[in-house]
Amino acid sequence: MGATMRHLPVTYQHGLRAGSYPADHRDPFDRILAAQAELESLVLVTRDHVFQDFPVRVLW
């Protein structure tokens, strides 16, 4: 069973969710990645510890 990859455009809903996160993490790219992972029920593959502060599942 292989992983499926697809293009995921940034939507208005992703932008709204990213903007609603607490202001203590200010990197807009991290916020968009977290919002996409959260709203699309995806697992974010990263070693970056900052994503512990977001309501997302992280692998690695």
pLDDT band with cut points at 50, 70 and 90 for residue 24:
confident
Q: What is the mean pLDDT of residues 15-31?
A: 94
pLDDT at 32: 97
Contact call for residues 25 and 18 (beta carbons, < 8 A): no
pLDDT number for residue 15: 98
The first and second tokens of residue 30, run together, are 């991290």
Please name every residue paired with 57 in a beta bridge, in sequence order, or none if there are none.
Answer: 43
Q: pTM (2 decimals)? A: 0.88
H/E run at residue 52: none
26 SS3 class? coil
User: Domain spans of the chain?
Assistant: 12-59
Cα distances (angstroms) measured from residue 24 to each of 37, 50, 53:
19, 11, 10
Confidence of residue 49 (pLDDT cuts 50, 70, 90): very high
